[in-house]
């Protein structure tokens, strides 16, 4: 089960554009440091609540940690560092995938498309029979 102590820091870093690999590594290191600090405080004779408070205080504020991480642009994702280039690449990839879009749409919406095709087929059959009947009624014998 994932430790929830640094979840707000994790979310803040991800929203700020830090690469997920670095976020996970940072959170893992912080959890290890927190555990070490808490163990040292427990070994010095503090109870569990005081040890947790000492460990949290020693690590520092999560906003300060996030600000320190965000000062390193090399930790940011490519699309955060170069948004225009990423947008152009994304657009080019979308244009390259354009011919496959109908197939992807069909695969994703099979039940709806089957109902649509059945409804169109029924409507076409009904209209063909109405048109045939009208044509038969309208034809004037010569």
Q: Do 91 and 106 belong together in one domain? A: no
The reply to whether 51 and 119 lie within a common domain is no
Tell me the C-alpha distance between 37 and 69, whole Å. Answer: 21
The answer to whether position 85 is within a domain reads yes
> b/e map of 32-71 (b: 16 or more CB within 10 Å)?
eebeebbeebbeeebeeeebbebbeeebeebeebbeebee
Is residue 91 domain-shared with residue 53, that is, in the same domain? yes
**Per-residue model confidence as pLDDT tens for the chain (142 residues):** 356 778 999 999 999 999 999 999 999 999 999 999 999 999 998 888 899 899 888 988 888 899 999 999 888 888 888 888 878 777 777 676 667 667 677 777 788 888 888 999 999 999 999 999 988 888 766 6
Q: For the full predicted model, state whether its pTM sits above 0.85.
A: no
Number of domains in the chain: 2
Range of the domain at 55: 7-96
């Amino acid at each position: 089960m994932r430790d929830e102590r640094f979840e707000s820091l994790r979310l803040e870093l991800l929203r700020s554009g830090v690469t997920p690999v670095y976020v996970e590594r940072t959170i893992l290191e912080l959890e290890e440091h927190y555990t070490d600090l808490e163990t040292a405080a427990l070994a010095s004779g503090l109870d569990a609540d005081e040890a947790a408070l000492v460990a949290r205080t020693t690590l520092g504020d999560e906003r300060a940690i996030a600000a320190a991480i965000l000062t390193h642009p090399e930790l940011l994702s490519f699309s955060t560092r170069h948004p225009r280039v990423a947008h152009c690449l994304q657009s080019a990839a979308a244009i390259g995938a354009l011919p496959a879009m109908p197939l992807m749409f069909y695969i994703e919406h099979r039940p709806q498309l089957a109902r649509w095709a059945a409804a169109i087929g029924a409507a076409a059959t009904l209209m063909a029979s109405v048109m045939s009947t009208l044509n038969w009624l309208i034809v004037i014998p010569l």
